Amino acid sequence: MLLWAGLGNPEPAMARQRHNIGFMAVDRIARRHGFGPWRQRFRGLAAEGLVGGERVTALKPLTYMNDSGHSVQPAAAFFKLPPEAITAFHDELDLAPGKMRVKRGGGAAGHNGLRSMDRALGTPDYWRVRLGIGHPGERARVLGWVLGDFAKVDAAWLDALLDAVADAAPMLAQNKPEDFMNRVSILTQDPA
């Protein structure tokens, strides 16, 4: 059993914000792999399905980004999951738009959703799928950037990234993070 938490904010007006790329990723995975319907559970929306032969619960916390851990922790406790069975899908300022990296553990790097998860779980030793949204260039512009909607020009790379993450998800479910990263990289290469 795996718990894949997409981090984001629940307001409908926030659905296209860069900060919600984690919600977008788990939505695409759930749709691609035929998960059951989203239901209210664990102070969030949860859907269950099989990915690569592994049972996965996808979770979208409705607690807002800064309190993501208040949804993830009850789900992890209910399923009695160790940290290595939990993956957070989240926006990453330090990666170029359309790039993705996977790592286990580490610091929150200023990301309030990860900080909340660290506190609630009592450990930072879970997996993170870091989805690049790029940096606006100046620290003072970060808040407006992450809470801003993706531009129309972002649609091509965003859809390609989300499709690649969904297509390669079986490798992640089978604990093959390097293969997952490589497959996403291949699927998102510019054909030029």
Largest CA distance in the chain: 47
* Structure-block tokens of residue 119: 């506190």
Q: Are the CB atoms for 66 and 9 separated by under 8 Å?
A: no
Any idea what DSSP says for residue 108?
-
Q: Residues near 33 by Cβ (< 8 Å), separated by ≥ 6?
A: 49, 50, 51, 56, 166, 169
Amino acid (1-letter code) at residue 1? M
Strands 39-41 and 44-51: antiparallel
Active site residue 135: no
Q: Are the CB atoms for 98 and 157 separated by under 8 Å?
A: yes
DSSP-based three-state secondary structure for 123: coil
Active site residues: 19
